[in-house]
Structure 1
Amino acid sequence: MYDAVVVGGGIVGSSIGYHLARAGVNTVLLDRNDEGRATTAGAGVISAATSSRTADDDWFEFATDAVGYYPELVSQLECEGYSDTSYGRLGTIGVAIEADELESYDETVARIDSRQSDLAPVDELDPAAAVDRFPPLAEPKRAFHHPGAARVNGDVFARALRDAGREHGLTTMTSDVTEVRIDGDQVTGVETASGSRFDAEHVVIAGGAWSSAFGEQLAVEIPVTPKRGQIVHLEHPNADTGTWPIVKAFRHHYIVPWPDGRLVVGATREAGVGFEPRLTAGGIHEVLEEALRVAPGLADATVVDRRVGLRPVCADGMPVLGAVPDIDGAFLATGHGATGLMLGPYSGKLVADHVADTGSVPDHFSVARFEDSSETK
């Protein structure tokens, strides 16, 4: 028998498993390795300041804490012998390439300026200086630099969490959980498609876009749906891309540099597609067209990979974290949308602390908020 079962091995579930094991909670992480997992197909921009969500106070406070937790967690993993986390702080340059982006540019700068007590200031860049920092860039009409942004490879970071977790006693298995077992109002474990049973007093559903499948069993609505995101990996020959900043334009796309000439460009935001993690001609065209609009110097780059993921988007845009009402031992950790790689490790820590009864999750992330909302209609 285990103390806790974590269902889902993306960056959120891996963080929960790691933090529970580190706290001495006997934990098993069960993952079925879904095709289209968001963790695998995210570019990994870690920046609360430049997100369009910055104006939302609750989201911003949480995201700022999550971004701030990354260096602490990376240092902790390094001390435990896991230095290959992929985390790197690069800074961001925001660029308005065309006139129709200037309004969004000004709004972003104003939001960051309004948060000066929480964020480092942005520095206005001469357009030519922006090109110096990111040579393939088209010369922008306006540009700023923000030093706080970082990037992370979701798969690499999640693997480091699981590997470190196993050193603390975490058990990980490939398994398809089909049922959360409940006796009265108490969780007793889970059952898998193969008929295996895992007994436990606590079960955490961290299944990304697939989490809502457990709503009926838990007698609660989990309003999380998949939103498809397609990205492209490019290789730019003879370029020191490891020193370049992240580029944020103002049509909801980005360019994220990695060492050895690699850049990740994306992403589409496709709602209403269901559970279809398909690469599409239109999606790849959108990604490449926008990348070349912003950075025409990438036209000769080699396409080395294309990825697609289903982001778990919650009805109100906020994650669902914490205990399930009226069922002791049941917890949720899902609904991070396109910001799962930014928020996931910190979300995992908070939920793990909640399970271990050493901390709590803010009430406004509880799934109970949807019950409350429906009652007032």
Structure 2
Amino acid sequence: MSYTTGPKVVIVGAGVVGGAAAHYLTLAGAKVTVVDKDPIGIHASGLALGGLGPLSGAGIPNPIGTLSIESWQLHLDLSKSLTDEYDFKLEKSLNIIFDNQQLETIRSLLDWQKSQDGFKVEWLDKSDVLDIEPRIVSAFLGAVVTEPTGIIDTYKFNNALISEAQRNGADLVVGEVSNIQSTGSACNVSIDGGKTLICDKVIVAMGPWSHQASEWLGFNIPITPLKGQILRLKAEGPPIPHISWSGADIYGSYAVTKSDGLVWVGTTEEHGGFDDRPSSIGRQTIMRSVVSILPQLAQGEIIKHTACLRPLSPDGLPVLGFLPGNPKIVIASGAGRKGILLGPVMGKSAADLVLNGYTSSNISALSPDRF
């Protein structure tokens, strides 16, 4: 089915943000072309864990707590409306707390989490946590238990968004963008090889490569890559619920059995440029952390070791809004480790800006000109 009544929009980047934007734009009747140099889902949008925890993370609760919950609701809606399955699952998550210092750090966040409708958030002492998962080592105080949270297959999700947009008339062009020009009432998107796409609006959703557009647009987009590594283990025993923790040398670690039957454990936060190769140091760091919590995983067989680059802004928050002084170009990137969760609301907000010139979502703290 093809719709051509709305504006012509080129989306540069076919990750989850670009895919979500394409989905919502085609639903509204826009003529959309998505351009990416690589196959769908081979970078962070397809290699990430896929944990959906809207009540914690960078910028939560302020300034993006409301936006995070809005994106959670969009995830719930998409799980019912997208044609292709992507292993969406509601679950209970446990955030392990080791000492009073960590407990004090999360206390104010915990009050906000408990006040959110639609979620059950509670503190459980160690004995109650061990009733849920007795394999956790006992040197901890307790855990914050949240339900529901979610988990998805991000590769399937990324492809489901693009496929749905294509069903509604979007075109997918494989090629590397070399320039974006805004002239008069139109925009020109140049692709290596000599092809030029002429359109009304452009969405720049290039993930960690978004900074490349700075030269084309004459405006600094300060996005840098944040490398993260994940191990997928084959391990004996029952499935492991979604467990997260932080330690002295690694922040935001996790272990969870996913729909593929493997235990996914991670992750790292590495500022090392565009090197997206898995490393032995990354593997050792992850295993040291996870074995300190779940010692039996020391016997797990590493089936797959992946690494990807997340887009990170200087303040850790997404960059989302019009290119300053140019309402024909929208920038949507920089969600860091919350990119899968925030992808739907970022894509929908970008689509709103293109279609209406505004969005009802509160993105005021995310303006590209804040740096």
What's the TM-score once normalised by structure 2's chain length? 0.89
Paired position in structure 2 for 1:373: none
Question: Number of aligned pairs?
Answer: 357
Mapped partners of 2:132, 2:232: distance in 1: 20
**Where does 1:226-305 land on structure 2 (aligned, <5 Å)?**
226-237=225-236, 239=238, 241=239, 244-251=240-247, 252=251, 253-271=253-271, 273-305=272-304
Instruction: State the Cα deviation string for residues 222-274 of structure 1 (Å, max 9, x = none).
Output: 111111111111122353x2xx4310112321113213531211110012x11
Structure 1 segments (4+ residues) deviating >4 Å: none
Helix, strand or coil for the counterpart of 2:130? helix
Paired position in structure 1 for 2:364: 363
Paired position in structure 2 for 1:50: 56
User: Deviation at 1:8?
Assistant: 0.6
* 8 Å CA contact 1:180, 1:187 repeated in 2: no
User: Deviation at 1:115?
Assistant: 4.1
5+ residue gaps in structure 2?
A: none
Mapped partners of 1:359, 1:183: distance in 2: 22
Paired position in structure 1 for 2:165: 165
After the TM superposition, which of the residue ranges 315-324 and 207-216 deviates more from structure 2? 315-324
User: Deviation at 1:187?
Assistant: 4.3
Q: In 2 relative to 1, CA 154–261 (structure 1 residues): closer, same or farther, beyond 3 Å?
A: closer
Paired position in structure 1 for 2:25: 20
Paired position in structure 2 for 1:145: 145
State, as a whole percentage, how many aligned pairs show the same letter.
24
Helix, strand or coil for the counterpart of 1:342? helix
Q: In 2 relative to 1, CA 116–248 (structure 1 residues): closer, same or farther, beyond 3 Å?
A: same
Helix, strand or coil for the counterpart of 1:288? helix
Mapped partners of 1:51, 1:133: distance in 2: 24
After the TM superposition, which of the residue ranges 209-218 and 258-267 deviates more from structure 2? 258-267
Helix, strand or coil for the counterpart of 2:148? coil
Helix, strand or coil for the counterpart of 1:299? helix
Q: In 2 relative to 1, CA 320–307 (structure 1 residues): closer, same or farther, beyond 3 Å?
A: same
Paired position in structure 1 for 2:70: 65
Tell me how large the CA RMSD over aligned residues is.
2.2
Instruction: State the Cα deviation string for residues 327-370 of structure 1 (Å, max 9, x = none).
Output: 34111110111110110111101111211117425232221222
5+ residue gaps in structure 1?
A: 371-377
Paired position in structure 1 for 2:16: 11
| Alignment equivalent of 1:33, drawn from 33, 38, 41 | 38
Helix, strand or coil for the counterpart of 2:101? helix
Q: In 2 relative to 1, CA 261–127 (structure 1 residues): closer, same or farther, beyond 3 Å?
A: farther
Q: In 2 relative to 1, CA 206–289 (structure 1 residues): closer, same or farther, beyond 3 Å?
A: same
Helix, strand or coil for the counterpart of 2:317? coil
User: Deviation at 1:128?
Assistant: 4.0
Instruction: State the Cα deviation string for residues 23-64 of structure 1 (Å, max 9, x = none).
Output: 110101111128972212311221122335434x21222112
Mapped partners of 1:148, 1:28: distance in 2: 35
Mapped partners of 1:280, 1:87: distance in 2: 30
* 8 Å CA contact 1:52, 1:108 repeated in 2: no
